[in-house]
Copies of this chain bind each other. A is one copy, B any other.
């Protein structure tokens, strides 16, 4: 892919082509970084890419090695690695563990390409207001800052990031080319959303989010000098930075091969090629639901395709979670590659079956009906001696859920379909789900979507795609249908309250007193929800991966011991 992109850039007579952070290895490589053979292979490939740089400057993220390893960017030209920049700020919070692997760089390099001064830095580096970007611009005179990133998505992140880049560009009085990874890896989705910002903070061009893109832009940096001349801060640079012991950037000359086009063109600040036709983000993405849906589709598609699966199978309960999951799957993989399985038990309502059939028809996926009553009967028969009573209790509910898990996994084994589990964040938080039952599956697309947001996404889908989700699915009272007349709300508080408490507790680390006294949530309910979240860690530990959408997802983003007595 990198080689093809270089070729394409050359077709457009580009002077330089830029690839994201760790483009060579994927992000995060995790403990593969501890394998010498992995580092070796990465170095072998950067040498191959180097050979493609005869007529163009190539900047590409890779793992640098000098005794220790670095999260690095190679600047290559004329079949040489001209210089390597090592990332200085290593994130070690949330989903990030970079201090587990990398050493910190400490050199603020600036590259002189003909008469343009360019500062290169990596992801987290640009988040620091007095970090490498500013040092490169203010001390090194860089007019252009190139930041290569592997910045994972969460709802609202694209906007937050643009605000930060706007501030950095005006702060540095430099143009910023921000190049972010696109695609899914396990629980993370990288939204791309690469863009070019001028020295006044205005957006010159952007790539479409959640899609691979090659944006070709003809960048005019001349005006930057005139902007700077008017800016008093650039008269006495040293006043600008309060940090002491600033390392003045080394200026590295990039000796250009004659074939490069820098001297051939006049620059025009004009987009030459690329997918996005619009500059305003709001023109691309109408609302948060659209953004989230795009993230879920990309995350689901990449998880399957990158792991060798084309087809998915989903248990359809007639409820809203499995409906949304099926819609996402059909959009990610194509309807023809999705099979919905109806598995009615003695407690399934006819309307659940009818609603599922209607959904299957609307979204044009395949389906099968595999009733589980007889299998359930055979468990009851064999286990009758051990049951304490004839009542339908949790044991018997779970047996049904696990029969369905077994049936879906049998289809997976027989046909090579990946099972998508359908649990949402509300259930996953409070453990309202059955381990090895409805939790069974290779991926859990909506694991980080609250139940209230599940409905909002369905409403958005129905507005945009002509009511493909049957109305009854959205209006009926939620039920697991594992015993007669069961309702989610018999066990759980109403979802709108539940979701608020979960969000406060998990994403905001709020305590009981704050939730009750400042947010006004009912104490008994808060207490119950906190307790359910605390005791369900063991289930989540064995859950399938899900796509991170919120500010704090389960998984690497929230690491809790199972064994700990702490409770407020």
Binding site for B on A (CB under 8 A): 25-26, 28-32, 34-38, 41, 92-93, 97, 99-100, 184-186, 302-303, 306-307, 368, 370-372, 374-375, 377-379, 381-383, 386-388, 393-395, 398-399, 402-403, 405-407, 409-411, 413-414, 435-436, 440, 442, 509, 511-512, 538, 541-545, 558-566, 568
Contacts and interface: CB of A to CB of B under 8 A. Distances in A.
Contact of A405 (B32, B38, B436): B436
B386 A382 contact: no
A185 B542 contact: no
Given A560-B32, A561-B30, A566-B41, A402 B395 contact: no
Given A186-B562, A379-B375, A562-B545, A568 B37 contact: yes
The 7 A-B residue pairs with the shortest CB-CB distance in the complex, in nearest-first order = A37-B511, A436-B436, A395-B413, A378-B378, A402-B406, A395-B414, A30-B559
A533 to B, nearest CB: 12
Total copies of the chain: 2
B562 A307 contact: yes
Given A410-B379, A410-B383, A307 B395 contact: no
Contacts of A542: 542-544
A106 to B, nearest CB: 18
Contacts of A184: 563
Contacts of A100: 92-93, 97
B406 A436 contact: yes
Contacts of A559: 30-31, 97
24 contacts: A26-B561, A29-B566, A31-B560, A34-B509, A37-B512, A37-B568, A38-B566, A92-B99, A92-B100, A99-B99, A306-B563, A307-B563, A374-B382, A377-B378, A378-B378, A379-B406, A379-B407, A379-B410, A402-B402, A402-B405, A409-B436, A435-B440, A442-B538, A542-B543
Contacts of A28: 561
Contacts of A395: 410, 413-414
A563 B440 CA distance: 19
A410 to B, nearest CB: 5
Contact of A410 (B29, B398, B511, B558): B398
Residue among A185, A382, A511 having the largest count of chain B Cβ atoms under 10 Å:
A382
